[in-house]
Amino acid sequence: MHVDAGVRLDTWLWAARFFKTRSLAKQAVDAGRVRLADMACKPAHALHVGATLRITRGEECFDIEVLALGERRGPASLAQTLYRETDASRLAREAAREQRRLERAGFQPPERKPDKRARRLIRALGDLDTL
């Protein structure tokens, strides 16, 4: 860990385990799903301690503060020491997770895969849109 030198943003996101690979982190930064101090930035931007990040990953959104710099991917327990998530962000993510859970409360997945006859019926229902 460095004290004064910055670390590439995409490398830090990978080391902090927000993304599985550095190339996925780079793609997220390029797509604007990672914002540094509420501004767009590039994957090679030098990240420093104290920076605030807004990371959007799928349906989840994280507002974090960088506590330490890391270039190497280690265990999850070590990765969690690199940042601190704001309380508002954590509460919003939990509320959104609960809302998604309630929305699928009535959904019952089928017990087994559809057989040949059921697949034909499903396919026929899909053709109704083209009529």
What is the predicted pLDDT for the residue at 2?
44
- Cβ atoms of 77 and 64 closer than 8 Å: no
- What would the two tokens of residue 102 be? 């309630």
- The residue among 47, 51, 44 whose CA lies nearest residue 2 is 47
> pTM for the full model?
0.75
Tell me the domain boundaries of the chain: 1-91
Query: 1-91: which CATH topology?
Result: 3.10.290
What is the predicted pLDDT for the residue at 84?
96
Q: What is the pLDDT of residues 45-68, one digit of tens each?
A: 999 999 999 999 988 999 999 999
Q: How would you class 130 by CB atoms within 10 Å of its CB: exposed for 0-12, middle for 13-18, buried for 19 or more?
A: exposed
What is the predicted pLDDT for the residue at 26?
96
What stretches in the chain show pLDDT beneath 50?
1-2, 131
SS (H, E, C) the chain: CCCCCCEEHHHHHHHCCCCCCHHHHHHHHHCCCEEECCECCCCCCEECCCCEEEEEECCEEEEEEECCCCCCCCCHHHHHHHEEECHHHHHHHHHHHHHHHHHCCCCCCCCCCCCHHHHHHHHHHHHHHHC
What is the predicted pLDDT for the residue at 110?
83
